[in-house]
């Protein structure tokens, strides 16, 4: 999709091009859906369009048979008009639905911060979900046969309070609840699971209320230059005072 058209669509839909980073994050890791995930979604889109096309062709054949048995010109005209509208609608939606499919792929962001993860997906219905690592209980990798063929997987993360998914793993976006999130269409599922597990283990091992060492180091790095500057100013003032007393 051309960049200008993409930016125009995002402006019309009022979708920010990048997600907001969790507040107070000192370090973040960003993951994106693999290019094969777009091919996966494209195959599903193409199958849906093929099904619609077959339905239109069947309707055209049925209309031809009905015309031979109907002697009312007005009824025949109505059937032809309905068939024409159906074909025009089908052809008109093709480029727009394909553009929406591409934009949905581009707007997927998976972020791991110090204390939480954030997943943003969707264009027409924008969803941004945040989970703290301290509440995560289960990390699962899911892969159907088509995903296995394309070398991609879904990483499911479930937090405290999340029971069994009502989707049964077939269509997670349908039955997804507030206590689960998905890294969909990634080609580095094991890396993502290991990164999430490391952060979960870190937050479970540290005492409650203990600050993150990475945050402490970041704060220290910010404060040291200001302390050195204050020390230099104090030294110059002491030197000036000493010269004034001896003169």
> How many domains would you assign to the chain?
2
Arithmetic mean of pLDDT over the chain:
79
Containing domain of residue 231, as a range? 218-247
Residue 173: the pLDDT is: 52
86 and 105 within one domain: yes
147 and 38 within one domain: yes
171 and 52 within one domain: yes
125 and 48 within one domain: yes
102 and 56 within one domain: yes
The model's pLDDT over 119-162, given as tens digits with 9 standing for 90+, comes to 998 888 888 889 999 899 999 999 999 999 999 999 999 987 65
Does residue 207 surpass a pLDDT of 60? Answer: no
Does residue 246 surpass a pLDDT of 50? Answer: yes
Going by pLDDT thresholds of 50, 70 and 90, the confidence category of residue 189 is: very high
DSSP string, 142-183: E--HHHHHHT-EEEEEEETT--S-TTTTTSHHHH--TTEEEE
Q: Helix, strand, coil % (nearest 5) of the chain?
A: 60, 15, 25
The closest alpha carbon to 35, from 154, 150, 144, 145, belongs to: 150
What sign results for the dihedral spanned by CA atoms 225, 231, 232, 237?
positive
The model's pLDDT over 29-64, given as tens digits with 9 standing for 90+, comes to 999 999 999 999 999 999 999 999 999 999 888 887
155 vs 26, higher pLDDT: 155
Residue 237: the pLDDT is: 65
Spatial distance between the Cα atoms of 204 and 47, rounded to a whole number of angstroms? 45
The model's pLDDT over 50-109, given as tens digits with 9 standing for 90+, comes to 999 999 999 888 887 877 777 777 877 888 888 889 999 999 999 989 988 998 998 899
200 and 161 within one domain: yes
9 and 87 within one domain: yes
**What is the distance of C-alpha 147 from the center of its chain?**
18
CB burial readout 102-140, b (16+ within 10 A) else e: bbbbebbbbbbbbbbbbbbbebeeeeebebbbbebeebb
Residue 206: the pLDDT is: 62
153 and 89 within one domain: yes
84 and 181 within one domain: yes
pTM of the model: 0.70
């Amino acid at each position: 999709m051309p960049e200008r058209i993409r930016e125009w669509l995002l402006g019309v839909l009022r979708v920010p091009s990048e997600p907001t980073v969790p507040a107070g994050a000192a370090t973040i890791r960003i993951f994106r859906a693999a290019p094969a995930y777009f091919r996966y979604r494209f195959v599903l889109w193409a199958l849906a369009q093929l099904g619609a096309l077959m339905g239109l062709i069947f309707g055209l054949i049925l209309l031809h048979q009905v015309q031979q048995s109907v002697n009312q010109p007005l009824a025949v005209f109505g059937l032809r008009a309905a068939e024409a509208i159906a074909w025009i609608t089908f052809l008109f939606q093709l480029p727009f639905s394909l553009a929406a499919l591409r934009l949905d792929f581009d707007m997927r962001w998976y972020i791991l911060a110090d204390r939480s993860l954030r997943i943003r997906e969707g264009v027409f219905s924008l969803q941004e979900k945040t989970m703290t690592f301290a509440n995560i209980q289960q990390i699962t990798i899911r892969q159907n046969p088509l995903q296995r063929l394309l070398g991609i997987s879904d990483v499911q993360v479930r937090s405290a309070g999340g029971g069994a998914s009502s989707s049964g793993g077939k269509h997670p976006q349908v039955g997804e609840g507030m206590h689960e999130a998905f890294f969909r269409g990634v080609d580095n599922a094991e890396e993502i699971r290991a990164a999430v597990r490391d952060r979960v283990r870190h937050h479970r091992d540290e005492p409650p209320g203990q600050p993150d060492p990475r945050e402490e180091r970041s704060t220290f790095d910010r404060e040291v230059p200001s302390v050195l500057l204050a020390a230099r100013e104090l030294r110059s003032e002491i030197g000036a005072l000493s010269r004034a007393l001896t003169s």
